[in-house]
Structure 1
């Protein structure tokens, strides 16, 4: 399994980067438009890779950062969402915008992605609204701890997450106090 590729960027198209490694092997890697905007021909780059093996293809999807890769892989878990659709989301939304759209159930953000209609957007929100999936990739540990603590006090997860969007504290103890005042 290929997990990372490092080398010289020899060819760059909107959704494809060709990277020539020190060993002389060139790899074609499918990338998002966000990733493309950060690359320049001839530069030495390193991309995190998600490899998808199918009967008819061995596809490499490349990402500049782990958050974008996590967003891509999370979308692949949604039934009916394939790699092309997931890559369109990565090209259109930042990982933070995506996470907030899921937490807030904001279907309009997802329908702004070409190829995603209202039905698919509702399906993505429904299947990914479980905060456990999102917590592991895009929410700081002190926020995750706060969510768990407030849930143990009987508050609903979706209400907690909405309140946390307005909170400013940067550690678990202060964030719990601030959130409790807003939840009361």
Structure 2
């Protein structure tokens, strides 16, 4: 099991990053809530990881902290939830927001995310409510998701590239291409980088 990676951040292409560790490049998929906290390419980064081995692939999923990784591990234990849907959930809301949804049996917020129908949302609440109690009661979920010390956004790129990159990331998270383009167009303002566009699009979708 690869539990943590420390190295140089080489590339950021949401929702995937490339980290160089002693000359070996690790491709890591991350939920956007963790992606927003990354430093600029060229800086050192520490990522908590979950390693998934399938017949056709070996995949690394990364997280900014152990709490988010722990929540991801509980999510993928739930019936009908795979790693991709787990990433989608933790991209659409922070770990603390998801905990509150489960604690309050807030099915409607879960249904707003792609790939989650009402039955799946209800099943998640039933299956996870007791298992997530170990994370404690989370009350204040209105605080902004602050970046890690030293974190910086991407440099501003041309409008078309920004929109295309943001839409591509949303498609990777389970949204249909037409829906992703509409979400991006609905929030884009001149000067935004792709990470900001993705953040605002996901926020508006809930």
Bigger Rg, which one? 1
> Counterpart in 2 of 1:15?
15
Is the helix fraction higher in 1 or 2?
Answer: 1
- Other-structure match for 2:132: 134
Look up the SS of the partner of 2:124 in the other structure: helix
**Alpha-carbon distance between aligned partners in 2 of 1:54 and 1:3, rounded to the nearest angstrom:** 17
Shift of 1:165: 5.7
Q: Which runs of 5+ in 2 are unaligned?
A: 141-206
What do residues 4-29 of structure 1 show as CA deviations (whole Å, max 9, x unaligned)? 111111011111010001x2100000
1:24 maps to what in 2? 23
* Greater RCO, 1 or 2 (C-alpha within 8 Å, sep 6+): 2
**RMSD of aligned C-alpha atoms?**
1.7
Instruction: Name the residue aligned to 1:157.
Output: none
Q: Which runs of 4 or more aligned residues in structure 1 lie more than 4 Å from their structure 2 counterparts after TM superposition?
A: none
Name the TM-score, length of structure 2 as normaliser.
0.64
Match of 2:32 in 1: 33
Aligned residues: 139
C-alpha distance in 2, partners of 1:106/1:96?
13
Distance 1:28 1:165, change over 3 A: closer
**TM-superposed deviation, 1:112:** 2.1
Q: Deviations over 1:79-137 (max 9, x none)?
A: 1111000000110111111111111111012112222121110110111122xx1122x
Name the SS for the 1:81 alignment partner: coil
